[in-house]
Amino acid sequence: MSLKSGLAMPISNFKSQISNQKPMSRPIIKPTTLKGFRDYLPSAMIAREKLIDTARQVYRSYGFSPIDTPALEHAEILLGKGGDESDKQLFRFRDNGDRDVALRFDLTVPLARFAAQHIHEIGTPFKRYHIGTVWRGENTQKGRYREFMQCDFDTIGTTSNASDIETLLVIHDLFERLGFSKFKIRVNNRLVLNGLLQKLGLADKSAGVLRCIDKLPKAGRDKVIAEMTERVGATAEQADDVIALAELKGEPFAMLTTLESKLAGNDAGLLGVARLRELFTTIVQAGVPDERVELDLAIARGLDYYTGTIYETFLGDLPSIGSVCSGGRYDNLAELFTTQKLPGVGASLGLDRLLAAMEELGMVAAASTPAKVLIAYFDANHLGDYHRLARELRAAGLPAEVYPEAVSLGEQLKYAARKGFPAAVIAGDREFAAGQWQVKNLLTREQVTVASAELIELLRSTVG
C-alpha cells in the first residue's frame, strides 16, 4: 500500500507542523466534579470491575439471568415506592417532551415495573440480576455518593421461604468469593416487627416506628424512644416495648422461642418466627458457619416496600462503614403496576461503599493496568517481533502490553513499575539471534534469561 504521489510526508514533518501550530485563545474551564459524584482512576476502576465480575459469576452460579432497564423512568413509577425520604432524594425534572421523569434511585422499583410489563414473556419464578448505576440526592459521606452502582439479584413470582433462604446463601457466597472471612449477615423479618406493633396497637404507625428502629444502632435507645413518642405518636410504654424487642440478643433459636411467647396469638408475627426458624435450620444444614449469620431484631430496613425477611451485611474488620449488602422480601411492590401477584425477594451489593471499605482494608491492588506483562520496545527494528510475542502471550491467557516508544530501557521500566506490571520482557539483536528473552520480575527485581520456548511457562509462574 502506498500514498498517492505528492501526498507522502515523513512522520517527523507532521510532528513539526503540529508542534508549530498556535493554540486558539479561549477561557480555561476549571476541571471539577459535582459534589457526591466521582471519577474513577484506573486502579479503582480495575478493582471495581473485579467486584462486578465476581458478583456476576456468583449470581450466574445460582441461575440468575441478566437484565437491564433505562436509567430514566416516568416519575410516577418511582414516587412513593421507597418512602418520603427516597422521594426527596430523587433527581427529578422535565425532559424535552415536558414529561415528568426521574433517575432511578434503586434497581428494585424498576424491576417491579419490568416484571409487570414483561411477565408473560419471562414467566415465573423469574430469577434476575442487574448491575447498573442509580442516583440519590442524599448527604454524602465516606463510601456514599449521589451516583453509585448497585449489583442486585432477585427472585420474582414466588412466596416460598426457600427463595428467602437462597438469598442469604447468595450473599454469603458472594462475600466469601470476594475474599472476606470476617463478615456478618444480620437477618430479621418484618412480620415479626409488624406482629408486635399490632399487639401494641401501633399498626397504623408502623412506617414511622420502623424508621425509628432503623436508627437505633446510631442514635441510641433514648433518642429513638424520644422520636417515637414525639414524632410518631407512640406512648412511652409502647416505645419501650418496641425497643425491648429490638434489643433482644442471644442464640438464634433461643431468641425465636422467646419471640413465640411474646407474639402468641398474632398469626403474622408467628409466621415471621416460623420463617426465621426454617432459615436458621437450613443454613446450619447447608454448612454456613454460625458466626456469619445473626438474628438482629433491630434491623427494620427503612424502605416501605419490605414485607418479610430482611438482610444487612456488615464487615467484621470495618463495621463503621455500615451495611454493604442489603435487601429483603417485598410481596406488594408490583401491585401498582399489575393486578397479577408478583411477590419478590432479593438483595443489593453496595458496590462503591464496599470498594471504599476494601481500599481502607488494603484489599485493592495498586496496579493501574490489567496487563500482566510489559514488553519493552528495546530495538526499533524488532517492533513486529514484539507484537508477535504480545499476541502469543494474550492467546496463552497472559495480558500483555508493548511499550509504544523506543526510549531508554530505564524509562520503560519506570513506567512498568508505576503502572504495577508484575513482569517485563526484554530482547534486542543478541537475544533474538539466540532465541532468548530477558525476564525481569518487577516485584523482586530479579532478572533471568530464558529460551523462547520456555517463556510462557516462566511468565505464568511469575505473574500468577
In the chain, the amino acid numbered 209 is V
The arithmetic mean of pLDDT across residues 391-398, rounded, is 97
pLDDT of residue 343: 93
Over 70: is that where the pLDDT of 385 sits? yes
Separation between Cα atoms, residue 45 and residue 351, nearest integer Å:
11
Question: Measuring CA to CA, which residue among 169, 304, 299, 309 is closest to residue 246?
Answer: 299
Separation between Cα atoms, residue 235 and residue 241, nearest integer Å:
10
Q: By percentage, how much of the chain surpasses pLDDT 70?
A: 94
Segments of the chain assigned to CATH 3.30.930.10: 42-360
Separation between Cα atoms, residue 257 and residue 279, nearest integer Å:
14
Over 80: is that where the pLDDT of 333 sits? no
- Grid cell 454460625 — which residue? 290
Distances (CA, A) of 45 to 39, 48, 134, 359: 9, 5, 17, 12
pLDDT of residue 206: 82
pLDDT of residue 1: 42
Separation between Cα atoms, residue 323 and residue 361, nearest integer Å:
16
Segments of the chain assigned to CATH 3.40.50.800: 373-463
Q: pLDDT band for 205, please (50, 70, 90 cuts).
A: confident
CATH of domain 42-360: 3.30.930.10
The arithmetic mean of pLDDT across residues 19-36, rounded, is 81
Residues 373-463, CATH architecture: 3-Layer(aba) Sandwich (3.40)
Q: By percentage, how much of the chain surpasses pLDDT 90?
A: 65
Separation between Cα atoms, residue 22 and residue 214, nearest integer Å:
61
Cβ partners under 8 Å of residue 352, min gap 6: 48, 143, 144, 145, 148, 149
Q: Which residues of 1-22 are buried (b: 16+ CB within 10 A; e: fewer)?
A: eeeeeeeeeeeeeeeeeeeeee
The pLDDT tens digits for 117-154 are 999 999 999 999 999 999 999 888 766 789 989 999 99
Over 50: is that where the pLDDT of 398 sits? yes
pLDDT of residue 4: 42
The pTM (predicted TM-score) of the whole model is 0.85
pLDDT of residue 367: 85
The pLDDT tens digits for 435-453 are 999 999 999 999 999 999 9
Distances (CA, A) of 429 to 6, 311, 385, 432: 36, 63, 11, 5
CB 301 within 8 A of CB 211: no
Length of the chain: 464
Cell numbers describing residue 231: 414524632
User: What backbone phi and psi angles, to 5 degrees, belong to 62?
Assistant: -95, 0
Distances (CA, A) of 406 to 360, 377, 378: 38, 5, 6
The arithmetic mean of pLDDT across residues 405-425, rounded, is 95
